[in-house]
């Protein structure tokens, strides 16, 4: 028999129903809140309309933990992903790989060929993943540690095509692992627009490298003309900086060592300190720190040079990341030191140091900007990435003016010296005139002395060229009248210019003096006389002497030179000579120059045949 329902039981059933409804409503609310919270953390979406879009502001980042794979990254909680607090494409220098993600829309319906461009060429490894409806449709792996032909597009930076996209939305995930600065200038753009920007970059790079090449050739010409070592140091600095900037542009990997992974990092690691080393060597030579710098200045300079040399050597074994960090610090310190050296030279009265100081100040500003950009201390920009090149061009232009100023200064010094010498000569002439008026006897004695000096070479004490021309003409006419043979020997010291360059002009002058002494010692026939014909060339006239006898005398003279050692301090050298001999019985007066020409041709033949020999005119005629 059923038990009848009481009023209390009905009340309990209604209360339970109300409780279930309340619990369901709370569950729905919780679900809605979770859904809203989920959507608030959902991946950002970039809608592409055909215009260039910077993806950096909407990128979400996460650091990779050790051993994580793509699958692990895809299931990471939304709370792990975060935006950059500042719009700065430089993420600093980190040892952990970085992941970035963003959602794209409008790709499949866009005109042209959309690409994602990572506009920095020096990352070791870059993985690019393209997802569509949760499915991976493209994957590229590129970087400096891989060959250049692994890139999907043959460009100096990393271009990732999106031509496989067909749905309304896609998601991209990018993984970057690099020991250097982690720059991420990531853009969504069309292939055509990217190619146009590359053309502008190539135009800028070509102008920059062209300026360096022209200045290097110009200063190389100055070096060979003036033999001033500061010019060759500047050429080395120019070329190393040019190669460094070309490498930073990405041209090294693109055109030279793209098939050798890892070489790009090695080149940058070596050139970073080497450019500073050559710059420092040039600065010390240009400003002449050895002469005006204090002991502390020279000690700091030598220490910095030593550190840079060690860094160049260590770049082949020390990790790339450490060399880059040290290079940034040393670079700024080196430019500051160069700036200080310029200021000190300016204060101490070096006119050329003024423009030099301004040049290095401009370089200091730009190098500081570049280093702050590369280390992530300031927002990275395209101009900031090229600050090194801009500063280098500014420095190059101003240094060219400094070089010209230095050359003008040296020219002024020479003019002042010549003016002083001229003033001294005028004063001496005035004093001489006064003495002439006072004492006629002293004047006659002085005139005789001046006449003697006017016919004598000041260095060798032999007759000079002017006196030789006069006396030789007289001897030739006398030989014509008497119908006696007259011989001429042209004597030239072998490789005298090289001797002068290797041992110095003072030693070269000593060799000329010793040569004159040997000629006087060997040539002792009556009537014979010798003169300095010009430079390292001498001429000997032998009246009433046959060609055979003159050749014998020439051979005696050659052996005397060969057996004589010229010594000055620790320097010593055996000289050799080449001789040309010509002889004639004049058939008519006035042909003395023809005889000299024959002797000179014989001398040329001696040089052509190996030098250190005597060539008579009969051998020349036989050829």
The catalytic residues are: 536
SS3 454: helix
DSSP secondary-structure letter at 43?
Answer: P
Class of residue 135 by CB neighbours under 10 A (exposed 0-12, middle 13-18, buried 19+): exposed
Residue 267 pairs in a beta bridge with none
Please identify which residue in the block is written with the tokens 């055979």: 548
CA distance 260 to 272: 20
Instruction: State both tokens at 582.
Output: 């010509």
Under a CB-based contact definition with an 8 Å cutoff, are residues 312 and 333 in contact?
no
Instruction: State both tokens at 32.
Output: 């809605």
Helices (H), 141-251: 191-226, 229-249, 251
First to last CA, the chain: 156
CA distance 239 to 217: 10
Conformational region of residue 517, where left means phi above 0, alpha means psi within -120 to 50, and beta covers everything else = alpha
> 234, 195, 238, 196: which is closest to 213 by C-alpha?
238
Q: Residue 490 is inside which H or E element, if any?
A: strand 486-493
Please, what is the angle between helix 263-287 and helix 229-249, to 10°?
150
Please identify which residue in the block is written with the tokens 């006419």: 477
SS3 509: helix
Show the 3-state SS of 345-359.
Answer: HHHCCCCHHHHHHHH
In angstroms, the Cα distances linking 409 to 235, 282, 460, 465 are 21, 19, 34, 35
Please identify which residue in the block is written with the tokens 């420092």: 280
Write the DSSP assignment of 374-385 as a string of letters. Answer: HTTSS---HHHH
Other CB atoms closer than 10 Å to residue 224's CB: what's the count?
A: 10
Class of residue 174 by CB neighbours under 10 A (exposed 0-12, middle 13-18, buried 19+): buried
In angstroms, the Cα distances linking 488 to 175, 532, 592, 596 are 87, 13, 10, 7
> 234, 363, 356: which is closest to 287 by C-alpha?
356
In angstroms, the Cα distances linking 86 to 19, 91, 315 are 50, 10, 34
Write the DSSP assignment of 518-554 as a string of letters. Answer: HHHHH--STT-EEEEEETTEEEEEEET--HHHHHHHH
In angstroms, the Cα distances linking 278 to 239, 334, 527 are 10, 11, 62
Cα-Cα-Cα-Cα torsion 494, 496, 502, 507, nearest 10 degrees, comes to: 120
> 346, 355, 233: which is closest to 292 by C-alpha?
346
């Amino acid at each position: 028999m059923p038990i009848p329902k009481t009023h209390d039981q009905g009340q309990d059933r209604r209360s339970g129903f109300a409780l279930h409804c309340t619990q369901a409503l709370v569950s729905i609310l919780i679900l809605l809140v979770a859904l809203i919270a989920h959507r608030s953390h959902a991946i950002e979406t970039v809608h592409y309309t055909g215009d260039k879009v910077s993806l950096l502001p909407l990128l979400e980042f996460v650091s990779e933990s050790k051993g994580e794979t793509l699958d692990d990254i895809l299931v990471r909680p939304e709370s792990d992903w975060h935006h950059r607090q500042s719009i700065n494409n430089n993420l600093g220098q980190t040892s952990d790989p970085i992941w970035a993600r963003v959602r794209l829309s409008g790709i499949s319906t866009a005109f042209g060929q959309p690409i994602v461009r990572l506009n920095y060429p020096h990352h070791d490894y870059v993985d690019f993943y393209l997802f569509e409806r949760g499915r991976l449709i493209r994957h590229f792996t590129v970087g400096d540690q891989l060959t250049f032909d692994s890139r999907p597009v043959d460009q100096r930076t990393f271009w990732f095509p999106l031509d496989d996209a067909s749905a309304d939305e896609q998601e991209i995930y990018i993984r970057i692992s690099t020991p250097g600065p982690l720059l991420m200038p990531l853009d969504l753009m069309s292939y055509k627009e990217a190619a146009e920007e590359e053309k502008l970059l190539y135009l800028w790079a070509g102008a920059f490298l062209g300026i360096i090449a022209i200045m290097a050739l110009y200063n190389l010409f100055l070096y060979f003309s003036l033999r001033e070592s500061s010019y060759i140091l500047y050429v080395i600095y120019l070329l190393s900086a040019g190669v460094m900037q070309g490498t930073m542009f990405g041209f090294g990997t693109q055109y030279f060592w793209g098939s050798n992974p890892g070489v790009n990092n090695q080149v940058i690691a070596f050139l970073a300190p080497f450019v500073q080393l050559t710059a420092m060597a040039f600065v010390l030579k240009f400003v002449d720190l050895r002469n005006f710098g204090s002991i502390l200045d020279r000690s700091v300079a030598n220490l910095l040079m030593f550190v840079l040399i060690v860094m160049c050597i260590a770049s082949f074994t020390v990790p790339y990341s450490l060399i880059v960090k040290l290079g940034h610090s040393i670079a700024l310190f080196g430019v500051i030191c160069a700036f200080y050296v310029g200021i000190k030279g300016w204060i101490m009265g070096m006119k050329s140091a003024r423009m030099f100081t301004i040049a290095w100040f401009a370089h200091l500003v730009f190098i500081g900007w570049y280093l702050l950009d590369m280390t992530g201390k300031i927002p990275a920009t395209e101009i900031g990435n090229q600050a090194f090149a801009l500063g280098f061009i500014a420095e190059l232009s101003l240094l060219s003016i400094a070089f010209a100023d230095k050359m003008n200064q040296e020219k002024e010094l020479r003019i002042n010296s010549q003016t002083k010498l001229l003033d001294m000569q005028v004063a001496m002439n005035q004093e001489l005139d006064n003495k002439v008026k006072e004492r006629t006897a002293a004047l006659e004695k002085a005139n005789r002395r001046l006449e003697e000096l006017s016919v004598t070479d000041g260095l060798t004490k032999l007759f000079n060229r002017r006196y030789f021309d006069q006396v030789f003409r007289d001897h030739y006419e006398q030989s014509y009248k008497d119908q006696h043979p007259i011989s001429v020997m042209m004597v030239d010291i072998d490789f005298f210019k090289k001797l002068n360059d290797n041992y110095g002009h003072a030693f070269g002058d000593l060799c000329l003096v010793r040569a004159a002494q040997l000629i006087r010692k060997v040539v002792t026939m009556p009537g014979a006389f010798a003169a300095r014909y010009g430079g390292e060339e001498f001429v000997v006239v032998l009246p009433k002497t046959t060609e055979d006898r003159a050749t014998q005398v020439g051979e005696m003279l050659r052996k005397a030179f060969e057996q004589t050692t010229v010594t000055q301090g620790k320097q010593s050298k055996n000289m050799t000579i080449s001789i040309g001999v010509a002889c004639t019985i004049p058939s008519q007066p006035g042909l003395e120059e023809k005889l000299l020409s024959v002797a000179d041709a014989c001398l040329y033949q001696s040089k052509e045949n190996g030098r250190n020999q005597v060539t008579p005119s009969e051998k020349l005629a036989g050829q």
